[in-house]
Amino acid sequence: MSTTIQVRTNAKLKKDAQKILNDIGLDLSSAINVYLRQIVVTGSIPFELRTVNGFTPAQERKMLKEAEEARKSGKRFHSVDELFRDILGEWPVKKCSKSKKERNTR
pLDDT in tens, 51-101: 777 888 888 888 888 888 878 888 787 888 887 787 777 665 555 555 555
Mean pLDDT (the chain) is 83
Asked if residue 104 is part of any domain, the answer here is no
Strand, coil or helix: what is 8? coil
In this structure, are 55 and 73 located in the same domain? yes
**Is-contact 84 53, C-beta < 8 A?**
no
In this structure, are 88 and 68 located in the same domain? yes
In this structure, are 38 and 56 located in the same domain? no
Asked if residue 6 is part of any domain, the answer here is no
Asked if residue 57 is part of any domain, the answer here is yes
Tell me whether residue 40 is exposed, middle or buried, using C-beta atoms within 10 angstroms of its C-beta: 0 to 12, 13 to 18, 19 or more: exposed
- Per the structure, the complete domain to which residue 75 belongs is given by 50-92
Domain count, the chain: 2
Asked if residue 2 is part of any domain, the answer here is no
The predicted model scores a pTM of: 0.51
Asked if residue 70 is part of any domain, the answer here is yes
